[in-house]
Structure 1
Amino acid sequence: MPSPPQSPPLAAYAVTSDELSPTHNKRRAGAARRGGAACTIAEECERLFCETLRTVFLGEGNVARQDSLALGMYDINNHDGHHNDSIAVSDDKKMDGSYDSGIGMPPSPPGSSLAVDYGFPQHQRGQVGQWIEVWDYVGGARFRGFVAGDGDDKAMFVFFDSEATVRDLKPGLMALIELCGLDEFECARLNVCLDRKAPAEDMRGLMKDLGWIGFEPVTLAEWAEKPPIVSDAWVLLGMEV
């Protein structure tokens, strides 16, 4: 699994709606690229798309890559059961320290249990509104995904690759559910995409565990204008959050 982007959090601050405006994003994107702080989350997420997902969410016949700047990092710190949430901007300094040999995770910021890189497409294409990359320092897992839709139909899609079936996903799942409710995302649903190439026994166990939480099998019917509505690479499970 590739190592994470080499750009650490610089400082925590509150992001205003003005700072998240398209005009501000474009200015930030230009400055960040010149400083070397830009991270292309979109390319890594799109790499996980099968042909069905690409057709439904990115537009049929459009294979051009969609660039995305990682605007910041959302840290969830857990001290004695209490969460302290913040958003940090990436700086152009390089990260020092070693990576976890199992998943290639960056060193955890002090007191941080989870970090989320997120970006907005510079040019809207298809139904994707945001790209995300989640680092779970507790469970030792990484999740990539995207946000699509608007209002009550807005949903977060997260990919669980074959390695996810053998990791402790509980901390990451709880964090993902919490992320859906944040102002930066405001998702009504959380959909997880399970890798069909995962061992069958591991897949059955994971689906059973997710079912106990409230996840149910879903299709792409509400997103697709025409068939196919089932991915040949991913099994989709969803729940309202």
Structure 2
Amino acid sequence: MKTIFLGEEGSASNDSNVMGADTYSSLDDDVDTHDNYFGNVKSGHAIDAWVEIWDYTGGCSFRGFVGGNGDEKTLFAFFDSSVIGRDLKHGLMALIELADEVFAVSQVVVCVDRSIPDGDRSAFLKSLRWVGFELTTLDMWSHQLDTTSDKWLLMGLEV
């Protein structure tokens, strides 16, 4: 995913170029603090926004971003082991409402951590399928066939 959204594999930094993480505080007024010291990175799809959702009802939080090109924007949300066994009804409703009303994206992709134990992950994926999510790949963004992630299992929902 980092390659697709932040640039060419191996040349994309671990820091967020989008959020200004490459700026630093300098005591010297002659130094431009917005200089890109990571060099020229061949960029991938644009990231328009970062989100962090706190679901106080369900007792969990998750992060994500809005990315893509033109009218093909997608809201990606990352669900790790901390969301397993939680009541995600209100959090998912908020996520889908944000996607539709605030970001006006065409779909929501929930990225489920593959390191979650199989039994827990299967039950969680079944719940997501019940809501309408379906397994998907990164083909739409990578423009290659069968692009998957070793770390995340992707579940997509058309908005």
TM-score when scaled to structure 2? Answer: 0.77
Match of 2:4 in 1: 56
Match of 2:87 among 150, 168, 180: 168
Give the C-alpha shift of residue 226 in structure 1: 4.1
Q: How many residues align?
A: 134
Q: CA RMSD in A?
A: 1.9
Match of 1:137 in 2: 56
Distance change >3 Å, CA 64–CA 194, structure 1 → 2: closer
Extract unaligned runs of 5+ from structure 2. 21-35, 37-42
Match of 2:19 in 1: 68
SS in 2 for 1:167: coil
Match of 2:112 among 176, 188, 194: 194
Question: How big is each residue's C-alpha offset from its partner over 1:136-195, in whole Å with a ceiling of 9 and x where there is no partner?
Answer: 111111110100124541110000001211211111001101111223x11110100000
Match of 2:24 in 1: none
The structure 1 segments of at least 4 consecutive aligned residues displaced by more than 2 Å after TM superposition are: 225-228
Q: Comparing 126-135 with 222-231, which one deviates more in the overlay?
A: 222-231
Match of 1:96 in 2: none
State whether structure 2 residue 100 is matched by structure 1 residue 181. Answer: yes
Whichever residue aligns with residue 106 of structure 2, its letter is: A
SS in 2 for 1:223: helix
CA–CA distance in structure 1, aligned partners of residues 82 and 99 of structure 2: 23
Match of 1:148 in 2: 67
Extract unaligned runs of 5+ from structure 1. 1-52, 70-122
State whether structure 2 residue 124 is matched by structure 1 residue 235. Answer: no
